[in-house]
Structure 1
Amino acid sequence: MKLFIKMIIALAISNLYSQNSIEGVVTEVETNSKLAYVNVYIPHLEKGTSTNDNGGFVINNIPTGTYSIIFSSIGYKTKSIQITIPVNTPIKIQLIPTAIEMESIIVSTPFHKIQRDNVMKVEHKNISDLKTNGAITLADGITNIAGVESVTTGLGIGKPVIRGLSSNRVLVYTQGVRLENQQFGSEHGLGVNDAGIESIEVIKGPASLLYGSDALGGVLYLNPEKFANNNTASGDFGGSYFSNTRGFNTNAGYKSSENNFKFLFRGSLTEHSDYNTKTYRVTNTRFREQDFKAGLGYQKNNFKTELRYNLNNSKLGIPEEIGEQSLNRTPLLPFQSITNHVFSSKSTLFLNHSKLDINLGYIYNDRKEFEDHHHDEHEDDHDEDKHEGEIEELEAALHMKLKTHNYDVKYYLPKLGKFETIVGAQGMNQTNTNYGEEQLIPDATTNDFGVLATSHIHFEKLDIQLGARFDNRNINITSGINKKFNSFNGAFGIKKNIFKNITARLNLATGFRAPNLSELASDGTHEGTNRYEIGNANLKSEQNFQTDLALEFKNEHLEIFVNGFYNSINNYIFLSPNGNIIDDTPVFVYLQNDAKLYGGEFGLHFHPHPLDWLHFESSFETVTGKQNNDTYLPLIPANSISNTVRVEFEERWISKGYAFIKLRSTFDQNNVSGFETNTNGFNLLSAGLGGNVLVFNNELNITISGNNLTNKTYINHLSRLRPDGIFNMGRNITIGLNYYL
Structure 2
Amino acid sequence: MFAIKKKDIKKGQVFLETKAEGLDEIVISASKFEESKRDIPKKIVSINAQAIQFNNPQTSADLLEASGQVYIQKSQLGGGSPMIRGFSTNRLLITVDGVRMNNAIFRGGNIQNVISIDPFSIQTTEVSLGAGNVIYGSDAIGGVMSFYTHKPQVSYSKESFVKTEAVLRHATASNEKTGHLGLNYGLKKWAFISNATYTSFDDLRMGSHGPKDYVRPEFVASNNGDDVVVRNSNPLVQKFSGYNQMNLMQKVRYESKEELTFDLGVFYTATSDNPRYDRLIRYRNGTLRSAEWYYGPQTWFMTNFNVIKLSSHSNLYDKIQATAAYQNFQESRTDRDFQSSIRNHRAENVNALSFNLDLEKGLSRRTKLFYGIEYVYNKVNSEAFQENIENFETQAIVTRYPNGSTWQSAAVYGNIKYKPNNQVVFQSGMRYNYVVSHADFSENNVFLNLPFRASTNRASALTGSAGVSWSPNNTIQWRLNASSAFRAPNIDDIGKVFDSEPGAVVVPNESLMPEYAYGGELGLRLNFDDILILDTATYYTYLNNALVRRHGDLNGETEIVYDGDLSEVQSIQNASKSWIYGFEIGAQVHFNNSFKLTSQYNITGGTEETDGIEVPVRHVAPNFGNTHLVWQNKCLKVDGYLNYNNTLDFNQFAPSEKEKDYLYALDQNGNPYSPSWYTLNIRSQYQINKATTLTASIENITDQRYRTYSSGISSPGRNLIVSITYNL
User: Structure 2 vs 1, CA of residues 676 and 185 (structure 1 numbering), >3 Å: closer, same or farther?
Assistant: closer
1:693 equivalent to 2:676? Answer no
Contact 1:337/1:369, CA 8 A, preserved across alignment: no
Q: Which residue of structure 2 lines up, in the alignment, with residue 499 of structure 1?
A: 473
Q: Which residue of structure 1 lines up, in the alignment, with residue 267 of structure 2?
A: 310
Q: Which residue of structure 2 lines up, in the alignment, with residue 683 of structure 1?
A: 678
User: Structure 2 vs 1, CA of residues 498 and 414 (structure 1 numbering), >3 Å: closer, same or farther?
Assistant: closer
Contact 2:23/2:36, CA 8 A, preserved across alignment: no
Q: Which residue of structure 2 lines up, in the alignment, with residue 363 of structure 1?
A: 327
1:517 equivalent to 2:491? Answer yes
Q: Which residue of structure 2 lines up, in the alignment, with residue 120 of structure 1?
A: 42
Return 503-512 or 407-416, whichever deviates more.
407-416
User: Structure 2 vs 1, CA of residues 104 and 287 (structure 1 numbering), >3 Å: closer, same or farther?
Assistant: farther
1:660 equivalent to 2:611? Answer no
Contact 2:23/2:38, CA 8 A, preserved across alignment: no
Q: Which residue of structure 2 lines up, in the alignment, with residue 589 of structure 1?
A: 571
**Aligned amino acid, residue 605 of structure 2:** T
Measure the CA separation in 1 of the matches of 2:10 and 2:89.
Answer: 50
Q: 1:707 deviation in Å? A: 1.4
Alignment of 1:510-659 (within 5 A): 510-525=484-499, 531-554=504-527, 555-576=529-550, 580=559, 582-583=561-562, 584=565, 585=567, 587-591=569-573, 592-608=575-591, 611-628=592-609, 629-650=613-634, 655=635, 657-659=636-638
Q: Which residue of structure 1 lines up, in the alignment, with residue 95 of structure 2?
A: 173
Q: Which residue of structure 2 lines up, in the alignment, with residue 449 of structure 1?
A: 410
Name which of 172, 184, 188 aligns with 2:111: 188
Q: 1:662 deviation in Å? A: 1.0
User: Structure 2 vs 1, CA of residues 369 and 127 (structure 1 numbering), >3 Å: closer, same or farther?
Assistant: farther
Return 596-605 or 117-126, whichever deviates more.
117-126
Name which of 124, 128, 131 aligns with 1:206: 131
Return 122-131 or 557-566, whichever deviates more.
122-131
Measure the CA separation in 2 of the matches of 1:216 and 1:123.
Answer: 17
Measure the CA separation in 2 of the matches of 1:464 and 1:103.
Answer: 17
User: Structure 2 vs 1, CA of residues 440 and 647 (structure 1 numbering), >3 Å: closer, same or farther?
Assistant: same
Q: 1:488 deviation in Å? A: 0.4
Measure the CA separation in 2 of the matches of 1:732 and 1:34.
Answer: 39
Q: 1:740 deviation in Å? A: 0.4
Measure the CA separation in 1 of the matches of 2:595 and 2:498.
Answer: 56
Q: Which residue of structure 2 lines up, in the alignment, with residue 280 of structure 1?
A: 236
Measure the CA separation in 2 of the matches of 1:34 and 1:680.
Answer: 51
Measure the CA separation in 2 of the matches of 1:531 and 1:297.
Answer: 51
Measure the CA separation in 1 of the matches of 2:509 and 2:637.
Answer: 53
Measure the CA separation in 1 of the matches of 2:186 and 2:25.
Answer: 23
**Aligned amino acid, residue 167 of structure 1:** T
Contact 2:494/2:510, CA 8 A, preserved across alignment: yes
User: Structure 2 vs 1, CA of residues 322 and 168 (structure 1 numbering), >3 Å: closer, same or farther?
Assistant: closer
Return 272-281 or 259-268, whichever deviates more.
272-281
Q: Name the SS of the counterpart of 2:355 in structure 1.
A: strand
Higher relative contact order (CA 8 A, sep 6+): 2
Q: Which residue of structure 1 lines up, in the alignment, with residue 704 of structure 2?
A: 712
User: Structure 2 vs 1, CA of residues 525 and 676 (structure 1 numbering), >3 Å: closer, same or farther?
Assistant: closer
User: Structure 2 vs 1, CA of residues 311 and 57 (structure 1 numbering), >3 Å: closer, same or farther?
Assistant: closer
Measure the CA separation in 2 of the matches of 1:224 and 1:134.
Answer: 16
User: Structure 2 vs 1, CA of residues 34 and 341 (structure 1 numbering), >3 Å: closer, same or farther?
Assistant: closer
Measure the CA separation in 2 of the matches of 1:193 and 1:647.
Answer: 28
Return 573-582 or 353-362, whichever deviates more.
573-582
Contact 1:361/1:407, CA 8 A, preserved across alignment: yes
Contact 1:228/1:234, CA 8 A, preserved across alignment: no
Contact 2:151/2:251, CA 8 A, preserved across alignment: no
Contact 1:293/1:309, CA 8 A, preserved across alignment: yes
Q: 1:105 deviation in Å? A: 3.3
**Aligned amino acid, residue 270 of structure 1:** T
Contact 1:299/1:305, CA 8 A, preserved across alignment: yes
Contact 1:283/1:321, CA 8 A, preserved across alignment: no
Q: Which residue of structure 2 lines up, in the alignment, with residue 423 of structure 1?
A: 371
Q: Name the SS of the counterpart of 1:436 in structure 2.
A: strand
Measure the CA separation in 1 of the matches of 2:185 and 2:380.
Answer: 38
User: Structure 2 vs 1, CA of residues 469 and 681 (structure 1 numbering), >3 Å: closer, same or farther?
Assistant: same
Q: 1:276 deviation in Å? A: 0.8
Q: 1:273 deviation in Å? A: 1.1
User: Structure 2 vs 1, CA of residues 36 and 178 (structure 1 numbering), >3 Å: closer, same or farther?
Assistant: farther
Q: 1:187 deviation in Å? A: 4.7
User: Structure 2 vs 1, CA of residues 463 and 103 (structure 1 numbering), >3 Å: closer, same or farther?
Assistant: closer
User: Structure 2 vs 1, CA of residues 305 and 663 (structure 1 numbering), >3 Å: closer, same or farther?
Assistant: same
TM-score, L = length of structure 1? 0.79
Gaps (5+ residues) in structure 2? 209-234, 283-290, 386-396, 442-453, 553-557, 659-672
Q: Which residue of structure 2 lines up, in the alignment, with residue 486 of structure 1?
A: 460
Alignment of 1:257-268 (within 5 A): 257-268=186-197
User: Structure 2 vs 1, CA of residues 462 and 112 (structure 1 numbering), >3 Å: closer, same or farther?
Assistant: farther
Contact 1:603/1:619, CA 8 A, preserved across alignment: yes
Q: Name the SS of the counterpart of 2:90 in structure 1.
A: helix
User: Structure 2 vs 1, CA of residues 498 and 718 (structure 1 numbering), >3 Å: closer, same or farther?
Assistant: farther
**Aligned amino acid, residue 463 of structure 1:** V
Name which of 343, 351, 358 aligns with 2:312: 351
User: Structure 2 vs 1, CA of residues 634 and 514 (structure 1 numbering), >3 Å: closer, same or farther?
Assistant: same
Q: 1:469 deviation in Å? A: 1.0
User: Structure 2 vs 1, CA of residues 717 and 483 (structure 1 numbering), >3 Å: closer, same or farther?
Assistant: same
Q: Which residue of structure 1 lines up, in the alignment, with residue 389 of structure 2?
A: none
Measure the CA separation in 2 of the matches of 1:631 and 1:136.
Answer: 36
- Superimposed CA distance per residue, residues 599-651 of structure 1 (whole angstroms, 9 cap, x where no aligned partner): 0210101011xx3211111111011121134211113210023111111112x
Contact 2:425/2:468, CA 8 A, preserved across alignment: yes
Contact 2:177/2:201, CA 8 A, preserved across alignment: yes
User: Structure 2 vs 1, CA of residues 367 and 374 (structure 1 numbering), >3 Å: closer, same or farther?
Assistant: farther
Q: Which residue of structure 2 lines up, in the alignment, with residue 458 of structure 1?
A: 419
Return 147-156 or 236-245, whichever deviates more.
147-156
Contact 2:384/2:400, CA 8 A, preserved across alignment: no
Measure the CA separation in 2 of the matches of 1:477 and 1:375.
Answer: 36
Contact 2:280/2:292, CA 8 A, preserved across alignment: no
Q: 1:497 deviation in Å? A: 0.8
- Superimposed CA distance per residue, residues 90-140 of structure 1 (whole angstroms, 9 cap, x where no aligned partner): xxxxxxxxxx67965312122543322333321101355245345322112
Measure the CA separation in 2 of the matches of 1:468 and 1:707.
Answer: 45
- Superimposed CA distance per residue, residues 22-46 of structure 1 (whole angstroms, 9 cap, x where no aligned partner): xxxxxx48xxx66669xxxxxxxxx
TM-score, L = length of structure 2? 0.81
- Superimposed CA distance per residue, residues 53-102 of structure 1 (whole angstroms, 9 cap, x where no aligned partner): 79x769xxxxxxxxxxxx8447xx69xxxxxxxxxxxxxxxxxxxxx679
Q: 1:342 deviation in Å? A: 0.7
**Aligned amino acid, residue 599 of structure 1:** G
Contact 1:714/1:728, CA 8 A, preserved across alignment: yes
Gaps (5+ residues) in structure 1? 1-27, 38-50, 59-70, 79-99, 324-330, 379-394
Q: Which residue of structure 2 lines up, in the alignment, with residue 40 of structure 1?
A: none
Contact 1:175/1:308, CA 8 A, preserved across alignment: no
User: Structure 2 vs 1, CA of residues 235 and 415 (structure 1 numbering), >3 Å: closer, same or farther?
Assistant: farther
User: Structure 2 vs 1, CA of residues 321 and 36 (structure 1 numbering), >3 Å: closer, same or farther?
Assistant: farther
Measure the CA separation in 1 of the matches of 2:371 and 2:618.
Answer: 38
Q: Which residue of structure 2 lines up, in the alignment, with residue 22 of structure 1?
A: none
Measure the CA separation in 2 of the matches of 1:447 and 1:552.
Answer: 40
Q: Which residue of structure 1 lines up, in the alignment, with residue 84 of structure 2?
A: 162
State the identity %: 17
Cα-Cα RMSD = 2.7
